[in-house]
Homo-oligomer: A and B are copies of this chain.
């Protein structure tokens, strides 16, 4: 067996075992796999009687949130997207080996666009706006990944953190200042307001955990606790979010059906639309 195979597989198996031997850490991952699985089944059940095309589309898009989440946590738990990194000089844990759950950032790059897509469809924002916000969101996740993986300089770690937050500000700006007007025009401002608040409050938690947890200032030095912090936010920002959205869509098919001009959702606007 080649040297490369030995070393690359060693990381994966090491991480797999380290996670299995840490009940706190392990539970933070399996809890999400279980909840995401139950959410997916629940959402299929909730959507069984939905007739309207646009509502079915929102169901399909939202169903992917738990599917991506299961994939993300399976990757973490198997050690495929987990690794050990040695923190650079200047870090509170400098020279120590710290478990990095870098796969979280990678899969957020796929799951958070779905959340923004669901919000954007609900508020009926235009396609170019939605695309811009999604690119900013992907930029936020990718630079978060970079912040987690840099081991040569603590200054560069925080440099990436600041850039990631700058992308986040673009996303927040759209959610706070732009999309509410669109939602009001679309007549979906009540549910949009609830989901927007949930998203803003919970998403603000991620950079706080990064800053306080093992990857940042290491005020909290437990990998398991840091992991539960992210996992708890994921539960709210993903499954609770998706449940509230789909419950509303199922109960308001008519409102959803009546809209549909924006987001390029229908090429030919219905006459009643103007």
Contacts and interface: CB of A to CB of B under 8 A. Distances in A.
Interface of A: 1-16, 40, 53, 56-57, 60-61, 63-64, 67-68, 70-71, 74-75, 77-80, 83-86, 97, 110, 113-114, 117, 121, 124, 126-129, 131-132, 135-136, 138-139, 142-143, 146, 149-153, 156, 159-160, 163, 166-167, 170, 173-174, 178, 260-269, 273-274
B5 A127 contact: no
A174 B4 CA distance: 42
A114 B135 contact: yes
Given A3-B7, A267-B269, A74 B146 contact: yes
B178 A53 contact: yes
A177 to B, nearest CB: 9
Contact of A153 (B16, B138, B142, B170): B16
Contacts of A149: 80
A170 B265 contact: no
A153 B266 contact: no
A24 to B, nearest CB: 20
Contacts of A71: 139, 142-143, 146, 160, 163
A127 B129 contact: no
Contacts of A64: 132, 135-136, 139, 167, 170
Per DSSP, are chain A's interface residues mostly helix, strand or loop, or mixed? Answer: helix
A103 to B, nearest CB: 9
Contacts of A4: 7-8, 10-11, 83
Across the A-B interface, give the 10 residue pairs with the lowest CB-CB distance, nearest first.
A264-B264, A261-B267, A127-B264, A16-B152, A262-B267, A4-B7, A78-B156, A4-B11, A61-B132, A268-B269
A178 to B, nearest CB: 7
Nearest to A9: B151
Contact of A264 (B56, B97, B117, B128): B128
A60 B132 contact: yes
Contacts of A53: 178
Nearest to A181: B53
Contact of A262 (B75, B163, B167, B266): B266
Contact of A74 (B131, B163, B273): B163
